[in-house]
Structure 1
Amino acid sequence: MPSAPTVIQHPPRREGLGPPIAAGVVTALVGFTSSFAVVLAGLQSVGATQSQAASGLLALTLTFGAAILWLSWRSKMPVTLAWSTPGAALLASAGMVDGGWPAAVGAFLLVGVLILLTGLLPVLGRLMGRIPTALAQAMLAGVLLPLCLAPFKSLGTAPLLVGPVALCWLLLLKLAPRWAVPGALVVALAVIGIHLGVNGTYLPADALVPRLEWTTPAFSVEAAVGLALPLFIVTMASQNIPGVAVLKSFGFTTPWRSSMVMTGAGTMAGAVFGGHAINLAALSAALAAGEEAGRNPGQRWRAAFVSGLAYLVLAVFSAALVTVVAAAPPGLLEAVAGLALLGTLAAAISSALAEAEERVPACITFLLAASGLSFGGIGAAFWALTCGILVRWLLKPGPLVRKARGSGPRAPRQ
């Protein structure tokens, strides 16, 4: 009787570092280039000068890049962080608060304290969870609407400048969606370069060197209520909570407490240098947590770690980007920022109107946030969320109505 063939057991082939390195670099490139224009627009809208906005961009990149290194190495999970893009859009729509840039910096510092307390005090997290998702998303959509209209307005005033940017964005959205905004940014930088060359404009060399610029914070009730509170809510509802969901979809449990402590402390550290808020990454998180980062889920934390290193490298170029963008023709930066936010706007509107009983309060919240209403020195975002919650409470059926709706002709007994 012939003997059974001998089966030689080969050790499992070890996966190289190529996939996590590539995924980490792509995560950083996409995360940085797709939304830094929004951050600059937001910081300048609340009173930052060009150098202060450059400092803020540098502080944000350094703080969340360093925090990614610590969180991913410590947890051995692909935890990635980012600046608050919806929060920057909120700043762009809010405009300057009473007290100017120092008051805005004080609001940023308060946001960091609130995020830190969210990690330390579970009750604060539960309180955040009681804010209706539809209203939070409606407020975000209202804040984003004016920014997302900018590309279309600019097409009417500067079609030769904005047209190529919009066309590149649309083509890449069809062929390679993740590179749509970075590609549009490359075209925008090329347009700026041509514009500078035609006009014989030269950039000062000292403005290309990154540097942190300290701002002593000032505190006011108006800035705390009208800027810090909406910024905290938008950051939690539109970045941190979706960031947890993205990681969960790939089988990872976010280290919530340590993430909130790190992002809160990082926001506080960067606030005095102009950074508005850092948080869990949402959209770019999938790049480091998915199969593109490696077949072995247990090793994908390396992709997040590499992205942290890449962000620290990109921070070196932050001042140069700010200087180039500052020399852009009017409307071009706003167009790139608006294109970057279209996907977020669509998702926010869809979430806000998903449930029929929430649509009227959500619409009121959306319209008030988009209106730019300011009352008592407090911006539209706060009043939009407040009025939306009030309308929702007024329209919510009382116990008698719910009982009447639940009652009806009973089926005859057999």
Structure 2
Amino acid sequence: MAGIVTALVGFTSTFAVVLSGLRAVGANPEQASSGLLALCLAVGAGGVLLAWRSRLPATLAWSTPGAALLAVAGIPDGGWAAAVGAFLVTGVLIAVTGMVRPLGRLISSIPTPLAQAMLAGVLLPLCIAPVEALQTAPLLVVPVLLCWLVLSRFAPRWSVPGALAVALAGIVVQLVVEGRAVPADGLLPAMEWATPSWSLGAVAGIALPLYIVTMASQNVPGVAVLGSFGYRAPWRASMLVTGAGTLLAAPFGGHAINLAALSAALAAGEEAGADRGRRWVAGVVSGLAYLLLGAFSAGLAALVAAAPQGVLEAVAGLALLGTLAGSAASALAEPGERTGAVVTFLVAASGMSFMGIGAAFWALLAGLLVREFLKDRNAPPGKAAR
């Protein structure tokens, strides 16, 4: 049951974010649906393999912060094909991180406040979406917000899935009232191949920020969550499995998979049983559940595609509120790092694009430059800045 809950919460809470992100970088509805299915299969198969071989309650998920990044990155030069090429580069980087220790240390050396500020800046426009949607589709969005608020009080784990259920019910009612129907062929899961291309703008503006947020906001916390329950995460195996899974999913539209972070606690904690040595079963079951959920991904994607403008974005914004709060708090936690973190946040939130490269890359670069320039001011008296 812990494995099933892990998969259900992970899938229903964030699949709207994935669809929004894929559409934002050039995918049509069919390609976005294919990407969601590819991610379900990669997360499912990779999760089963990793938990079975390691005998640990390790669970996988798609990169939700990465999908949020895509949602504000914009269509790169070269369109969807260039975005797919960037996904492949991300997969290579994740896999290489498992084999080349210095690369892992390099990622760990990125100041946490700046990485979290970049993520917060990326998330801000998405988290404003529920407020904006009140203007475009109030009859659908108000019940969604009320459901989310009530469940946040009494059953926080199910607040976003519950809001999604209300949104889907509202979409179905509106389709019936308007006499519209979702095409039957759009309800069947299908994989759609996309031949990748590569461009400097897509690599710098999508692949590198996607890799950084996936590592800093998912993989590293995922290791920490397992460690908090007394398990030592199989770092090398995890990076190789998630890197290979990303590579296999990318040509079909999947952006990135990683170790689960927040939902990992559901499979590693006491909810998975008193016998710590048997909790790996929850990881296997979570993977199997993702494989099953993939069968419903196309139908959900088709239903969401028929929704009025703003409804999908509202659900995605609600799903990311907790992540925004956590990343903003982490970004501003250290007084000496706040100026660089605020600059990073503002550039990321601006959505600017320069030389075909999106805001996330420039945000991190600007934050690092400001931090370096101010390091002597931020250093404690009598000590060199670290």
Following superposition, the deviation at residue 348 of structure 1 comes to 0.2
Amino acid of the residue matched to residue 276 of structure 1? Answer: H
Give the structure with higher Rg (CA): 1
Helix, strand or coil for the counterpart of 1:403? Answer: coil
Equivalent in the alignment of 1:13: none
Q: How far apart, CA to CA, are the structure 2 residues paired with 1:253 and 1:323?
A: 40
Q: Distance in 1 between matches of 2:195 and 2:174?
A: 37
Tell me the distance in 2 between the aligned counterparts of 1:133 and 1:398: 19
Q: For 1:110-125, what aligned pairs fall within 5 Å after superposition? A: 110-125=89-104
Deviations 1:251-285 (A, max 9, x none): 11100000000000100000000000000001110
Contact 1:63 1:266 in 2 (8 A): yes
In the alignment, is the contact (CA less than 8 A) between 2:68 and 2:123 conserved in 1? yes
**Aligned ranges for residues 324-363 of structure 1 at < 5 Å?**
324-363=303-342
Distance 1:199 1:404, change over 3 A: closer
State the identity %: 67
State the match for 1:149 in structure 2: 128
CA RMSD of aligned residues (A): 1.4
Does residue 272 (structure 1) correspond to residue 251 (structure 2)? The answer is: yes
- Unpaired runs of 5+ in structure 1? 1-21, 407-414
1:183-202 matched pairs, under 5 angstroms = 183-202=162-181
Q: Deviations over 1:16-66 (max 9, x none)?
A: xxxxxx111111100000000000000000000001000000001101100
User: How many residue pairs get matched?
Assistant: 385
Please state if 1:34 is matched with 2:22: no
Letter in 1 for 2:252: F
Query: Residues 81 and 399 from structure 1, CA distance in 2 versus in 1: closer, same or farther, beyond 3 angstroms?
Result: closer
> Contact 1:30–1:179 at 8 Å: present in 2 too?
yes
Q: Does 1:158 align with 2:137?
A: yes
Equivalent residues in 2 for 1:98-109, closer than 5 Å: 98-109=77-88
Using the TM superposition, give the Cα deviation of residue 330 of structure 1 relative to its aligned residue in structure 2, in angstroms. 1.2
Where 2:57 maps in the other structure, the secondary structure is: coil
The amino acid across from 2:202 in the alignment is A
Kept in 1, the 8 Å contact 2:337–2:378? The answer is no
The 5 A counterparts of 1:308-327 are 308-327=287-306
Which of structure 1's runs of 4+ aligned residues deviate more than 4 A?
398-402
Q: Distance in 1 between matches of 2:67 and 2:49?
A: 25
Residue 380 (structure 1) aligned with residue 359 (structure 2):
yes
Letter in 2 for 1:186: A
Where 1:276 maps in the other structure, the secondary structure is coil
- SS class of match (2:61): strand
1:220 corresponds to 2:203: no
- What's the counterpart of residue 301 of structure 1? 280
Aligned partners of 2:327 and 2:355: how far apart in 1? 28
Structure 2 letter corresponding to 1:106:
G
Structure 2 SS opposite 1:272 = helix
- Give the corresponding residue for 1:282: 261
Q: Which amino acid aligns with 1:29?
A: L
Could you say what secondary structure the match of 2:82 adopts? helix
Give 1:155 deviation, angstroms: 1.4
Instruction: Pick closer, same or farther for the CA change 1:405–1:262 going to 2, 3 Å.
Output: closer
**8 Å contact kept, 1:195–1:329:** no
1:25 pairs with 2:4:
yes
Structure ranking higher in helix proportion: 2
Per the TM alignment, residue 403 of structure 1 is displaced from its structure 2 partner at its CA by 2.9
Distance in structure 2 (CA, Å) of the matches to 1:156 and 1:196: 20
Gaps of 5+ in 2: none
Q: 2 CA distance for matches of 1:286 and 1:320?
A: 29
